[in-house]
Amino acid sequence: MSTLSIKPDTRNIDLPAIRRVEAGHVLLWLKHGWKDLLRNWPVSLGTGILFTLLGYLLMEYAWARPHLALTLTSGFLLISPFLAIVFYELSRRHETARTPRFEGVRRNAASIGMYALLLAFVLSSWERISAILVGLFSNGELLVGGRFSYALLFSQAQLGFTVLYLLAGGVLAALVFALSAVSLPMLMDRRVDFVTAIVTSLWVVRKNPLTMLVWAFLIGALTLLAQLLWLVPLALIFPLLGHATWHAYRDLVTRHQA
């Protein structure tokens, strides 16, 4: 599978060269991510189980509030790029074992903090948008026995609301994905600022539209599968995708000189 390096033509920001890769590289990212998961399975699976339990507890709190249940279900995709920081570090450490642990976090703490604040703002905004959409457009009750029901959400009576909600969420998720595709792994790896990392991520998506569409679809499909199975598979899926994201960054952005 061929690759082509491209240097983005920007005047005021010094961006690294990026690669244009074929969609089949997604399978390579998953393959390398799986290897990293096996190498670090106690920490990777332990972290995955912890986030799964926390997600389950949050969902138990939200089931009686339809807009919160919908926000948390879809919102995981919005903040997962930051939550996966542990998996990026484990994969980075496998490549550069002599460097200090979480060296990139200490070096770029301000930029990583700004990135976290951006995702927190997006999630809080999505919670308010969800409340408005549920309040204005949901046609009738979304609760059964005091708990949110996916069966009612996808019923004929709620079809218009469901389509509108998915469209709004899809637009926001696409934006976050474009901003986050390689930005946080880049901040973990290099001495760059917040803006440089985000602009690099946007260029990666711009130059690899089909590959990144396949990658985004795969992430969304696996996350949806985990949610339909009461979050249980998330304990494995989340670390796998986290490690694979590091290798996506390594594949899509050329290595810098130390």
DSSP H helices in the chain? 25-39, 41-62, 66-83, 85-95, 103-107, 109-137, 150-153, 159-180, 183-189, 194-207, 209-228, 234-252
Look at residue 9 in the predicted model and tell me its pLDDT: 65
Q: How confident is the model at residue 103 (pLDDT cuts 50, 70, 90)?
A: confident
108-154: pLDDT as tens digits? 899 999 999 999 999 999 999 999 999 888 876 787 777 787 778 88
Residue 19 tokens read as 């690669």
For the CA atoms of 76, 91, 47, 66, the dihedral, rounded to the nearest 10 degrees, stands at 0
Look at residue 11 in the predicted model and tell me its pLDDT: 65
74-100: pLDDT as tens digits? 888 899 999 999 999 999 988 877 676
Domain boundaries, the chain: 24-252
DSSP letter at 63 equals T
Q: How far is Cα 242 from Cα 126, in angstroms, rounded to an integer?
A: 23
180-223: pLDDT as tens digits? 999 999 999 998 999 999 999 999 999 999 999 999 999 999 99
Q: How far is Cα 183 from Cα 193, in angstroms, rounded to an integer?
A: 10
